[in-house]
């Protein structure tokens, strides 16, 4: 049903180490996304999961680093570097949300409980969960770069941070998955497929629960947890070009036997985004 190592990751792939910093001197207003409490709450809800979530991803992939062949081993190192930068920048971003008056602690605690549950699973299950969540972030990243309207009306520094994150999620989108293929190379193809699809199913349910609970918590703090706010937000997320509508399509694709993240080579989105990106005055390290 699935081949153990599908050589679909581009041979000339560059996973670039960028030590870029955002938002230190330009704090975000309370409703930094288009002046809209719903969209702001959704992205803040997402951001609140990243510092702990990225650390979980790094640990899950690092567990299998030794013994992996090149170039995968070097790609794992580059993946860990990029994820560590994402964690750092979302700590800053979340602190700005707190400074704007939001209580992020309950959201972080929800993420902490979810990760604590995941850590009680086997290393292979943790890697499978990482593959699923990395597919989520890569799918959202693709759609954010392909459809600029998702970030239109966002304050300039916040937009730069989210676009940078999207660029790097696309660059390293197959590292966890290729690590999974290597770690499960001795499994029967059907068993490998069932494992990753069962974990994806659970992860999909939990992801939506956490993000929507987080969003509702933030809207309650604004006194806006009502249909008048949720209706346009759900249109933004699930409408014709909605972010989460794209995510659902991506999940269906992930379930197909023989799936690989680089079956869609979307590096042109990275190139286009970088061509118009105002880089911070901080280093870019060679891949």
Q: What is the SS3 assignment for the chain?
A: CCCCCCCCCCCCCCCCEECCCCCCCCCCCCCCECCCHHHHHHHHHHHHHHHHHHHHHHHHHHCCCCCCCCCHHHHHHHHHHHHHHHHHHHHHHHHHHHHCCCCCHHHHHHHHHHHHHHHCCCHHHHHHHHHHHHHHHHHHHHHHHHCHHHHCCECHHHHHHHHHHHHHHHHCCCHHHHHHHHHCCCCCHHHHHHHHHHHHHHHHHHHHHHHHHHHHHHHHHHCCCCHHHHHHHHHHHHCCCCHHHHHHHHHHHHCCCCCCHHHCCCHHHHHHHHHCCCCCCCCEECC
pLDDT of residue 200: 98
pLDDT in tens, 210-250: 999 999 999 999 999 999 999 999 999 999 999 999 999 99
Among 2-6, 59-63, 143-147, 157-161, name the one with the lowest average pLDDT: 2-6
> If 0-12 CB within 10 Å is exposed, 13-18 middle and 19+ buried, where does residue 69 land?
exposed
CA atoms of 230 and 228, how far apart (whole Å): 6
- Distance (Å) of CA 132 to CA 53, 98, 190: 12, 29, 18
pLDDT tier for residue 26 given thresholds of 50, 70 and 90:
confident
CA atoms of 22 and 249, how far apart (whole Å): 31
Average pLDDT over residues 191-207: 98
Q: By the 8 A CB rule, do 211 and 49 touch?
A: yes
For the chain, the straight-line distance linking the first and the last C-alpha, in angstroms and rounded, comes to: 34
**Cα angle value 157/163/167 (rounded, 5°):** 145
Average pLDDT over residues 179-198: 97
Closest CA to 197 of 278, 138, 135, 265: 135
Regarding predicted confidence, which is higher, 2 or 142?
Answer: 142
Q: Is the pLDDT of residue 283 over 70?
A: no
pLDDT of residue 25: 86
Average pLDDT over residues 97-117: 97
User: By percentage, how much of the chain surpasses pLDDT 90?
Assistant: 90
Closest CA to 34 of 156, 137, 144, 145: 156
pLDDT tier for residue 23 given thresholds of 50, 70 and 90:
confident
pLDDT of residue 5: 47
Q: Is the pLDDT of residue 287 over 50?
A: no
Q: Is the pLDDT of residue 4 over 60?
A: no
Residue 6: how many other CB atoms lie within 10 Å? 16
Tokens of 28: 């975000």
**Average confidence score pLDDT of the chain:** 94
Closest CA to 90 of 60, 68, 111, 75: 111
Q: Which residues contact 111 (CB under 8 A, 6 or more apart)?
A: 48, 49, 52, 53, 210
Average pLDDT over residues 190-206: 97
Closest CA to 142 of 26, 53, 262: 262
pLDDT tier for residue 286 given thresholds of 50, 70 and 90:
very low
pLDDT in tens, 64-82: 999 999 999 999 999 999 9
pLDDT tier for residue 260 given thresholds of 50, 70 and 90:
very high
């Amino acid at each position: 049903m699935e081949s153990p190592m599908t050589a679909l990751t581009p041979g000339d792939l560059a996973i670039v180490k960028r030590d870029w910093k955002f938002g230190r001197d330009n704090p975000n207003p309370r409703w930094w996304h288009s002046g809209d409490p719903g969209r702001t709450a959704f992205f803040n809800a997402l951001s609140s999961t990243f510092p702990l979530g990225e650390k979980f991803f790094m640990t899950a992939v690092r567990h299998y680093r030794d013994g992996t062949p090149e170039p995968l081993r070097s790609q794992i190192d580059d993946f860990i570097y990029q994820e560590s930068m994402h964690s750092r920048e979302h700590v800053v971003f979340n602190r700005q949300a707190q400074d704007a008056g939001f209580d992020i602690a309950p959201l972080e605690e929800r993420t902490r409980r979810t990760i604590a549950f995941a850590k009680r699973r086997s290393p292979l299950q943790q890697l499978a969960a990482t593959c699923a969540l990395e597919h989520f972030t890569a799918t959202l990243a693709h759609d954010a770069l392909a459809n600029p309207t998702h970030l239109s009306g966002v304050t300039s520094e916040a937009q730069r941070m989210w676009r940078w994150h999207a660029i790097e999620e696309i660059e390293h989108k197959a590292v966890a998955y290729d690590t999974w293929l290597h770690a499960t190379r001795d499994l029967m193809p059907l068993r490998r497929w069932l494992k990753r699809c069962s974990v994806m199913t659970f992860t999909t349910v939990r992801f939506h629960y956490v993000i929507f609970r987080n969003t509702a918590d933030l809207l309650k703090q604004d006194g806006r947890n009502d249909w008048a706010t949720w209706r346009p937000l759900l249109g933004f997320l699930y409408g014709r070009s909605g972010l989460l509508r794209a995510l659902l399509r991506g999940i269906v694709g992930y379930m197909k036997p023989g799936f690989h993240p680089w079956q869609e080579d979307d590096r042109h989105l990275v190139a286009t985004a970088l061509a118009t990106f105002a880089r911070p005055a901080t280093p870019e390290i060679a891949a």
